[in-house]
A and B are shown apart, each in its own frame.
Chain A
Amino acid sequence: MTTLASAADGRISQLSQTRDPVFYWLLLMIGAFVLFPVFALDYGLMESTSDELYEAMGWSSQNVSWLWFGLPLLLFLRPLHAPARKKCRDAKSRHWFDIGWAGFCVLFIVISAWVQGTGLGYGCILLLLGLGAIATLGFSRLEFLGGDIFIIGALISIVTLISTFIIFPSASIFVPMFEGDMGEFAPWQFLDILGRRQIIQIIKNSILLGTTVGASATFFGLLFAIYTTRIAKRSAFIARIFSILPIVTPPFVVGLGVTLMLGRSGYITELMVDLFGLTKTNWLYGFPGIWMAQVLAFTPMSFMILDGAMKSLHPSLEEASYTLRANRSQTFMKVVMPLLKPALANSFLIVFVQSLADFSNPLVLGGSFDVLATQIYFYIAGAQLDYASASTLGAVLLIFSLAIFVIQYMWIGKRSYVTVSGKAYRGDVQPLPSFVRTGVTAFLYFWMAFTLLLYGSIVFGSFTVNWGVDYSLTLDNYIRLFGLGVTEGAWPSLISTMTYAGIAAPITAIFGLLIAYIVVRQQFHGKKVIEFATMLCFAVPGTVAGVSYILAFNDAPIYLTGTAAIVVISMVMRNVPVGIRSGIAGLGQLDKSLDEASLSLRASSFGTIIHVLVPLLRPAILSSLVYSFVRAMTTVSAIIFLVTPETRVATAYILNRVEDGEYGIAIAYGSILIFVMMAIILTFDRLVGEARNARTKAKEI
């Protein structure tokens, strides 16, 4: 044994006669210090003068950055060669020291930059990257996660990104709450704010709206789910429309469409006036209008949840109930409903949160009915800049959403008898009584007709001179948007939207897939925490995310406000759940033994992802690319806080038109966006479909 062991030792030590990679990372840091500005530039790399650039260099003066880059160099004191595998164990304290020192340096950099009020520059990105790499090497040598460098590196990056861009901003929204006008500590200020009559009314409004919309959307969603699972034979079409429409509809458009139909000068209103002699009122503006627009917008979501749940109910359960002498209504109340309860609760909670977070519909249709999301916006973008109140309301909104998220996670997460992703049973179920069938079908047709009318009026409205006043057709709106050259009208915002979404989409897809891979395929302590933190992205309402970003990144140490980077980062972080979800769904369909086979055939885990998982997950990756692109284009609530005139995106442009009362231009832009996104999704569907066909053909040969 001893002879064998020493022979093995010899082989390993031969392999490890390479320089310890830690040295290269340290050299990278020195290079970064010399070549890149370590402090933030106020006007970006391209726009700064050479003096500003010189000042931002760490070596240009005596400052704290010498310490930032100097401290890690302590790690130069180490053996020249990477430790042999076998000796790793003996050098445990060495690795722990590496990790600890890297962590200490990171803390030191962040805290000292914060205390000094200096923003971190490009050089610091490389510095932090190097420190992360050194920690990764340390953990890998300690044989964490099987010593797999790629997995450890990915994990460290995920934790860093999530804590920087989700947890840190979410926490910083609580700061101005306790800060008085002069920046002094005011611990009870938020009580004053919450005690204001107006604010209490706003919170009441939001909760009233959320519960009514949640209940209505769930009820309608259930009706449609009953239709698709129990009445119609071919229901894929409806499910498809319901899944596409909400994604491709830009914000404000539904609200504006409802106005065109039912507003004071809407054509249905006119019709009612002519037919029944009713008087025109502003009944739409306020609770009824927002309710209608939100129910239209969120019913598809609750339909998707309930449809999945109903499909996974095995018909034999109902049949068993009938054979046990239960009649239809008993079966429905005692068997079907209890089994659907988690899905119903889930749908209600999700819609409730969505309604709270919705910004665009209340803005268009709210009238004097203020809700949390709009009020936060007014506090920051309006005449009365009031960070303390915005922060307090943001905190209230965030706490509501988090509480509901936790309820879902703890309660529904555990008690889901009916899994949404479960197997679909479409056996022969007992037909419903005919009055239910007719009722549900009639309602569905009414809904479809209304939707058709709504989208029709949006398109038609975009071609009219002035809705309600002058219905003559004109191309004026489009000319003002797109006919004045690429530097005027909508072009700059459309181009920047496409660019930002184009940059954000691949990052979202890769990041999402990586998280999905780590969560689904790796086992380690604290995995639940990572899972929980990533799902937190779902829970933070857009408005809160936007406010928290300006609060968090407007100051040292991370100074990003006003840049395109913060817009892209916000798009990525808002949509990463889409990537995670499609990654988890895709990985769930791949047998784990494929990964294991690849690993046992000497592939690294990175190689396994590239050569085995990515090719097999291509449809899932493509779909998350497309959907995160489209969603990035329509995102509004977080973005409006972050854009500047230079980085204005399409939704912000529409918002400005709405605020200026130029509804024609707003809906014209909206229609264009609908068509563009529809085209993208349909093209993508066809591509995936063709790929699938090609594959089945290949099988037949």
Chain B
Amino acid sequence: MSKDSKNNFVVLKNICKRFGQNTVIGDLDLEIEKGSLVTLLGPSGCGKTTVLRMVAGLEKPTSGQIFIDGEDVTDRSVQHRDICMVFQSYALFPHMSLYGNVAYGLKNLKLPADEISQRVDDALKLVNLEGMGDRFVDQISGGQQQRVALARALVLKPKVLLFDEPLSNLDANLRRSMRETIRDLQKRFNITSLYVTHDQAEAFAVSDKVVVMKDGDIMQQGAPSELYQVPDSLFMANFMGDANIFDGHFDGETITINGVQVKANQRTVESKASGHYQVGVRPEAITLSHEGQPEHICKVNKVVYMGAMYEVSVTWGEHELLLQINSTEFDTDIKDQAYLSVNPVGVFLLDPVVLSSKKVQPELTAEVA
């Protein structure tokens, strides 16, 4: 334990949370490395915010332990955990100026006045709000409010910084620049952070590690590219984007689906033994052309223009497939019939299949479309 805790700055052990009869978190373990940003990603109601609030000390776990920097903080109240939080609603105090908001925590720590004003000015500068300390919350824009909330949390130099869907109240353009700001500052100060969102793009853009949750359980955790390229369950394959699911065979080097051989990518070769598997193929990993082998032939059912790409649905053998083809690469002459080819990067193996040569459950493929 002693060795792990060096790296794992925040540790949740066997956390269970019940509200009355309702179990929100079953039995959850989670570790956050020092200086990294970990995101809890999941559909609403999956318990991600509850986990964040338990780390903050705003909810108490029914059982289990929480460690921050090696100390058991499970019974410690929010004031004594050395955390700060950026709230979804920002929770800026409307009766205080921006300066007052940022200085609030420092005043509670009873720091000397000149140190407070120095640190507040620095913090406001950090988020490009220098000189605006006199303004009130209702006099600034949403993006600025978000940055005040960030400054108010950073100024205390907490051990752990918590983000509760911080960008959900901003419009799309602002969201992109704010998530970069957050990531930059987090890296610059090397602050261990836990971030909650339901937006996959946001999670991928800011995180070192993404933890996907469903119904209070962790489904999979890892770097963004790992989660997308090697999802380890059907849920993950579909949650992380669309996937076409086949029954296939892996011989250690190549994967055979529908009689077509695809070279397995590096990650697959390293991690899976040969055998029969459920095979997932990302829609963007399949392209269409006018010529190819007979086993690659497919029937084109529908072509939908989406702007950046075309969504094409084809029938290949007995499979109904969804394809996403970059608009600049799609040959609009393609009509009723085409030949498809599969890029190995977008192919991954899921659960092993017991050979009874049954078809893939139809409702799963339906889910893809």
- What residues of chain A have their CB less than 8 Å away from a CB belonging to chain B? 1-5, 8, 85, 89, 143, 146-148, 591, 593-594, 596-604, 607, 611-612, 615-616, 698-699, 701
Partner of B87, one of A597, A603, A616: A597
Give the distance in Å from the alpha carbon of A593 to the alpha carbon of B108 in the complex. Answer: 18
* B180 interfacial by beta-carbon distance below 8 Å: no
Please give, as numbers and ranges, the residues of chain A lying within 8 Å of B136 by CB-CB distance.
698-699
In Å, the complex CA distance between A89 and B75 comes to 10
* Given contact pairs A591-B89, A600-B85, A699-B139, A143 touches B70 in the complex (Cβ within 8 A): no
Task: Evaluate whether A1 and B5 lie within 8 angstroms (CB atoms) in the complex, with A8-B70, A601-B156, A602-B105 already known.
Answer: yes
5 A/B residue pairs, CB under 8 Å, sorted by A? A4-B2, A596-B85, A600-B83, A601-B84, A699-B139
Which A residues are in CB contact (< 8 Å) with B84?
Answer: 600-601
B77 touches A593 (CB 8 A): no
| Chain A interface, >50% SS class | helix
- How many A-B pairs with Cβ below 8 Å? 90
Kindly list chain B residues whose C-beta atoms are within 8 Å of the C-beta of A698.
136
Query: How far, in Å, is B261 (CB) from chain A's closest CB?
Result: 51
- Give bound CA distance, A685 to B1, whole Å: 64
Question: Distance (Å) between the CB of A603 and the closest chain B CB?
Answer: 5
Q: Measured between alpha carbons, how far is A146 from B81 in the docked complex, in Å?
A: 12
Assuming the A-B contacts A601-B105, A602-B109, are A615 and B71 also in contact, with contact meaning beta carbons closer than 8 angstroms in the complex? no
* A contact residues around B105 at 8 Å (CB): 601-603
- When the two chains form their complex, are residues B88 and A593 in contact, meaning their CB atoms are under 8 A apart? yes
Distance, CA A148 to CA B76, complexed state (A): 10
- Residues of A close to B83: CB separation below 8 A: 600
Q: Quick check: B70 and A85 within 8 Å, CB to CB?
A: no
Q: What residues of B have a CB within 8 angstroms of the CB of A612 in the complex?
A: 93, 95
A1-B5, A8-B70 known; A596+B58 contact, CB < 8 A: yes
How many Å lie between the Cα of A215 and that of B78 in the bound state? 52
Q: Are A601 and B104 in touch, CB under 8 angstroms?
A: yes
Chain A CB within 8 A of B79 CB:
yes
Contact of B89 with A4 in the complex, beta carbons under 8 Å: no
CA distance A600 to B79 in the complex (A): 6
Confirm or deny: B60 has a beta carbon within 8 angstroms of a beta carbon on chain A.
yes
Closest to B95 in A: A615
Which residue of A5, A591, A603, A701 is within 8 Å of B71 (Cβ)? A5
- Cβ contact within 8 Å between B156 and A602: yes
| B152 lies within 8 A of chain A by Cβ | yes
A597 to B70, Cβ gap below 8 A?
A: no
**Nearest chain B CB to A691's CB is how many angstroms away?**
12
Would you call B93 and A3 a contact (CB within 8 A)? Answer: no
Which B residues touch A143, using CB under 8 A? 75
| Range class of the B interface residue count | 35 or more
Residues facing A in B57-83 (CB within 8 A) are 57-58, 60, 69-72, 75-79, 83
Question: Which residues of B from 139 to 157 have beta carbons under 8 Å from A?
Answer: 139, 152, 156
Closest-CB distance, B265 to chain A (whole angstroms): 39
B76 to chain A, nearest CB (A): 7
Q: A89 contacts which chain B residues (CB < 8 A)?
A: 75
Give the docked Cα–Cα distance between A603 and B96 (Å). Answer: 15
What is the distance, in angstroms, from A645's C-beta to the closest C-beta of chain B? 48
Q: Which residues of B contact A4 (CB under 8 A)?
A: 2, 5, 69-71
Contact A596–B91 (Cβ < 8 Å): yes
Q: Contact at A602–B79, with CB atoms within 8 Å?
A: yes
- Contacting residues of chain B (314-334) with chain A, CB-CB under 8 angstroms: none
Contact B104 A611 (CB under 8 A): yes
Q: Closest CB of chain B to A137's CB: distance in Å?
A: 16
Contacts of A146 in B (CB 8 A): 57, 60, 77-78
Which chain A residue lies CB-closest to B110? A602
Is there contact, CB below 8 Å, between B2 and A601?
A: no
Which residues on the B side are within 8 Å of A699 (C-beta)? 136, 138-139
Q: What is the minimal beta-carbon distance from B192 to any residue of chain A, in angstroms?
A: 15
In the A-B complex, list the 3 residue pairs whose CB atoms are closest, starting with the nearest: A4-B70, A601-B105, A597-B91
B56 CB within 8 Å of chain A: yes
**Can you name the residue of chain B whose Cβ is closest to the Cβ of A696?**
B138
The answer, yes or no, to whether B362 is at the interface (CB within 8 Å) is: no
Docked Cα-Cα span, A603 to B93, in Å, equals: 13
**Contact of B94 with A by CB under 8 A:** yes
- Tell me whether B71 and A8 are in contact (CB under 8 A): yes
The smallest C-beta distance from A14 to any residue of chain B, in angstroms, reads: 15
Contacts of B93 in A (CB 8 A): 594, 597-598, 612, 616
Asked if A600 and B78 sit within 8 Å, CB to CB, the answer is yes
* A residues less than 8 Å from B79 (CB atoms): 599-600, 602-604
Other 14 A-B pairs with CB < 8 A, given A147-B75, A600-B78, A603-B105: A1-B2, A2-B2, A4-B69, A4-B71, A8-B70, A89-B75, A147-B77, A596-B87, A597-B92, A597-B93, A600-B79, A600-B84, A602-B108, A603-B108
User: B139 contacts which chain A residues (CB < 8 A)?
Assistant: 699, 701
B78 / chain A contacts, CB cutoff of 8 Å: 146, 596, 599-600
Q: Which of A593, A598, A601, A607 contacts B89 (CB 8 A)?
A: A593
Q: Which of A3, A593, A616, A701 is the one whose CB lies under 8 Å from B2?
A: A3
B80-133: which have CB < 8 Å to A?
83-85, 87-89, 91-95, 104-105, 108-109
Q: Give every chain B residue within 8 A of A602 (Cβ-Cβ).
A: 79, 105, 108-109, 156
Docked Cα-Cα span, A628 to B94, in Å, equals 28
Which residues of chain A come closer than 8 Å to B71, judged between CB atoms? 4-5, 8
B319 to A: closest C-beta gap in Å: 46
CB contact between A616 and one of B1, B58, B94 (< 8 Å): that residue: B94
Nearest chain B CB to A118's CB is how many angstroms away?
A: 43
A507 vs B83: C-alpha distance when bound (angstroms): 36
Measured CA separation A597–B91 after assembly (Å): 6
Q: Report the Cα distance A611→B95, complex, angstroms.
A: 10
**A1→B70 contact, CB < 8 A:** yes
